[in-house]
Amino acid sequence: MVIIAVGVASWTYWQATQEQQQLQNDLTARTKLLARAVREAVEVNVANNFIATVDRSVKRLAERERVGGIVVFDSHAAVIAVSDPKHSTTELAALVGRALDIDQEQSRTFSVEGRDFYALALPLHDEQRVSGAVAILQQADYIKQEPWNIWRENFLRLFLKVLASVLALLLFIRWFLYRPISRLTTQLKSARLESGDAAPLRLPRIPFFRPLIREIMHIRSHLADARGRAEIEARLRMEKIDSPWTGDRLSEMAKEVLKDRMLVVVSNREPYIHTKSGGQLQYYFPASGMATAIEPLMRSCGGLWVAHGSGDADRQTVDAKDHVAVPPDDPRYTLRRIWLNPQDEQGYYFGFSNEGVWPLCHNAHVRPIFRKEDWEAYQRVNQQFANAVLQEIKDVQHPLIFVQDYLLALVPRMIKKQRRDAVVALFWHIPWPNSEAFSICPYRSEILDGMLGADLLGFHTQLHCNNFIDTVGRTMEALIDWEQFEVQRSHHTTMVKSFPISIAFPNGDANMIADPTTPRSSTDVREAFDIHTPHIVLGVDRIDYIKGLVEKLRAIELFFEKYPAYKEQVTFVQIAPSSREKIESYRQLDEQITSEVERINAQLRSARWKPIVFLKHRHTHEQLNQLYKAADVCLITSLHDGMNLVAKEYVAAHDDERGVLVVSQFAGVSRELKEAMVVNPYDVEQVADVIKWSLECPKAEEMRRMKKMREVLKQHNVYQWAAEILRTMVGLG
């Protein structure tokens, strides 16, 4: 404010000075013009001593020109004529005397009866001699007064602006700072006083407060979580638990079962990826079914997670041992990152794992590709993961090692060779094909040997277990116990068991709080995605040939062709982030799907509606949850899928027990959620008909199906899945 005042004062001083100078210049110029006019009128009469004529001329000119005063002097500076006697002052006589003496005009400002006048004396001539002089007086009070007017006006404006700014600031503070902060304070107080569980979480939706809001959410969550944990621990010690599994119950069970044993999870995909954006460190949770399932286990049980550091800022966040505590905002366990060079990552991940094993295990009619150099990279990277685990457990007795998925099939054997006391489990997150299909792989014996290094092998379904044991029996020498589902080879026994993976179904968990910046209602979701139809059919899949996206789009097109009454009544929203862009077949598929969406929209759209909203960017779990809630139908048409957790997430989101789930018969989830509508994704006409049935399903039938599916998920959630695996692992050693 001081700086503004100094600036205004400086500007006003300059403006006043300039204005005063301009007024003075104007007055001088006007006075000179008038003096010359008077001289022309009286000069001859003065020379001829026509005094009366001079007097009349002076008074006439004074009235006509509205001048302050006109005085005519003879050559001796005596007054000849004057428009007003009071103007004949000593100062004026002295000024005229100087003008006569030097025969040049003279000017000055002086006061007469308290008023300022500007006087100009101009000599008169009679041929070659000075015959007298004429003096013009002009009022000059306003020249001094005008700068003060400028100062007054400018500072009045400054005062009004300051006053308006202060009032605006006070209003801003009152409405946009004080009220939101007061509300945040109330929320914190309610949480502290244990009344926050009953009160709704009403937080201001102002971007400025978002970081503070997130922290308050975490504080509130932690307070509620701590109270919940204390209550659950007390209850667990006093009674037998038959209630649904939660993170707290899993944590309490882990304390009893694991005791001091260390749990190590090993996966290619890391649970938190750090990146740089605008020079600032950020992190995000990857769109991975494996990470979604395993992360709640680690939050509840703690321990160490070994994974590939893939983020461009991952190295900046680890310590000297490549460790970082996660989750970043609420550390519960340690993430150990390992680093892969580009050549090994290309051969191990994009090559052998995703151009070879992935299509081999999915009946999606894509030819698997096996290259020797990719296999060698796969072996090197698996050994790198095994070495990292061995380094972490070198001083740990009887650790539990939980290896994830087809990318690390060799790790169990590599670890078991060095640490016989470790209990190693491998969970295979994708389908296991029949023995004939698996025999395509030229390295099948090595892969099976690596997997059989584990003490426990887990699959999603019993069919996958059967296929695996049958593959072992047809590929290598081993003793198979079909009753116990165990494989004995080289004096080592591997248990094979199905563990249908699931999600973290809420079950009233206190720490499952929504992000207040996310759309909160169906109306909000429709506005956010520019949807103007009463019905939404939702699909959530990454770009992959096993997801049946092309077939799904053809079914949607056929649906609108067969049932045109649903045009402008239904919008199909497909979330489809790109994946594995370095693989040519995935890039081609991405282009094909994008082209199909554009073709169908161009063919069917109207001025107000387009049938397909195609979103390729990734969405947070909370954003997806709001889309799930808004969707009338969720369409999962995988050509082959181990489980598919999107289907379970959709059911979990519908606490209103509304909505219809349509799933492929080739997705593992169809065996668990039996009340879903099961379709053959290759039969696009059937899919189109089922979409119509789903939109017209009676409310009672819709709620009956959803209620039963929610009961299944309530009992068989990811915490129950993790607890069963932990119990089995501990039971093996």
Share of the chain above pLDDT 90, in %: 52
Q: Which backbone phi and psi does 582 adopt, to 5 degrees?
A: -75, -10
What are the structure tokens assigned to 725, written together?
């695996």
The pLDDT value given to residue 203: 54
Torsion of CA 633, 676, 615, 622, to 10 degrees: 90
- For 507: left if phi > 0, alpha if psi spans -120 to 50, otherwise beta; the answer is left
Phi-psi region of 632 (alpha: psi -120 to 50; beta: other; left: phi over 0): alpha
Q: How far apart are alpha carbons 244 and 723 in whole angstroms?
A: 12
Please state which of the ranges 105-109, 323-327, 578-582 shows the lowest mean pLDDT. 105-109
Q: How many helices and strands, by DSSP H and E, does the chain display?
A: 25, 23
Q: Residue 703 — φ and ψ, nearest 5°? A: -70, -35
**With bands split at pLDDT 50, 70 and 90, how would you rate the model's confidence at 106?**
confident
Q: Across-strand partners of 538?
A: 573, 634
pLDDT of residue 164: 83
Judge whether residue 621 has pLDDT over 70.
yes
The letter for the amino acid at 685 is E
User: Burial level of 636, CB count in 10 A (0-12/13-18/19+)?
Assistant: buried
* CA 356/CA 374 separation, integer angstroms: 9
CA distance 330 to 341: 31
Residue 245, burial from CB neighbour count under 10 angstroms (0-12, 13-18, 19+): buried
Question: Once rounded to an integer, what is the mean pLDDT over residues 517-534?
Answer: 73
pLDDT given for residue 197 in this prediction: 44
Span of 182-191, 609-618, 681-690 with lowest mean pLDDT: 182-191
The DSSP code sequence of 446-473 is HHHHHHTTSSEEEESSHHHHHHHHHHHH
* pLDDT tens string 432-465: 999 999 999 999 999 999 999 999 999 999 999 9
pLDDT digit string, tens, across residues 570-589: 999 999 998 888 888 899 99
How far, in Å, CA of 233 to CA of 226, rounded? 10
Return the pLDDT at 202: 55
Question: Which residue matches tokens 């006509």?
Answer: 64
Q: pLDDT tens digits for 295-314?
A: 888 988 899 999 999 999 99
Q: Residue 110: is its pLDDT beyond 80? A: no
pLDDT in tens, 258-267: 888 999 999 9
How distant, in Å, are the alpha carbons of 295, 298, 338, 516, 720 from that of 243?
Answer: 22, 21, 39, 30, 11
User: 263-266 and 79-82 as β-strands: parallel, antiparallel, unpaired?
Assistant: unpaired
Per-residue pLDDT at 239: 41
Over residues 178-194, mean pLDDT: 67
Q: What is the distance between the alpha carbons of residues 342 and 332, in angstroms, rounded to a whole number?
A: 31
Domains located in the chain, CATH noted: 2-139 (3.30.450.20), 246-339+394-498 (3.40.50.2000), 522-715 (3.40.50.2000)
Q: Return the structure tokens found at 441.
A: 């792989």
pLDDT of residue 58: 75
**E strands, 191-322, in order:** 263-266, 273-277, 280-284, 304-308
Per the CB < 8 A criterion, the answer to whether 676 and 705 are in contact is yes
Q: Which secondary structure element, helix H or strand E, spans residue 539, and what is its range? A: strand 535-540
Q: Report the 10 Å Cβ neighbour count for 270.
A: 25
Predicted local confidence at residue 697, as pLDDT? 95
For residue 291, the tally of other CB atoms under 10 A from its CB is 20
Name the residue with higher pLDDT: 255 or 92.
Answer: 255
Round to whole Å and give the CA distance between 183 and 272. 32
Task: Note the pLDDT tens digit of each residue in 353-402.
Answer: 999 999 999 987 889 999 999 999 999 999 999 999 999 999 999 999 99
Nearest alpha-carbon partner for 378 in 357, 399, 403, 400: 357
The residue-averaged pLDDT of 518-525 equals 61
How deeply is 579 buried, as exposed, middle or buried, from its count of CB atoms within 10 A (0-12, 13-18, 19+)?
A: middle
What number of other Cβ atoms are within 10 A of residue 392's Cβ? 20
pLDDT at 192 over 70: no
Asked if residue 188 lies in contact with residue 216, where contact means CB atoms within 8 angstroms, the answer is: yes
ω before 327 within 30° of 0 (cis)?
Answer: yes
Q: Scanning the structure block, which residue is given the tokens 């929610």?
A: 710
Tell me the pLDDT band of 541, cut-offs 50, 70 and 90. Answer: very high
Q: Express each pLDDT in 195-239 by its tens digit.
A: 444 445 555 566 666 666 666 676 766 666 666 655 555 554 444
H-only helix segments in 48-140: 51-65, 90-102
Sign of the torsion angle spanned by Cα atoms 59, 64, 67, 72: negative
CA distance 194 to 224: 8
Residues 253-277, mean pLDDT to the nearest whole number: 91
Q: Could you report the per-residue pLDDT of 707-721, keeping only the tens digit for each?
A: 999 999 999 999 999
Sign for the CA dihedral angle at 293, 295, 299, 305 comes to positive
142 or 233: which leads in pLDDT: 142
On the question of pLDDT at 648 being above 90, the answer is yes
DSSP 550-600: HHHHHHHHHHHHH-GGGTTTEEEEEE-----TTSHHHHHHHHHHHHHHHHH
378 φ/ψ sector (left φ>0, alpha ψ -120 to 50, else beta): alpha
Alpha helical stretches, state H, 264-410:
289-301, 314-317, 342-345, 358-361, 372-392
Please, are residues 126 and 18 in contact by the beta-carbon 8 Å criterion?
A: no
Provide the pLDDT for residue 516.
41
Whole-number mean pLDDT of the chain?
A: 85
Residues, the chain, total? 733
Higher pLDDT pick, 368 / 172: 368
**pLDDT at residue 709, rounded to an integer:** 97
Of the candidates 264, 258, 298, the one whose C-alpha atom is nearest the C-alpha of residue 391 is 264
**Partners of 678 in beta bridges:** 663
SS3 category, 619: coil
List the 106-112 sheet strands across, edge first: 79-82, 69-74, 129-139, 115-126, 106-112
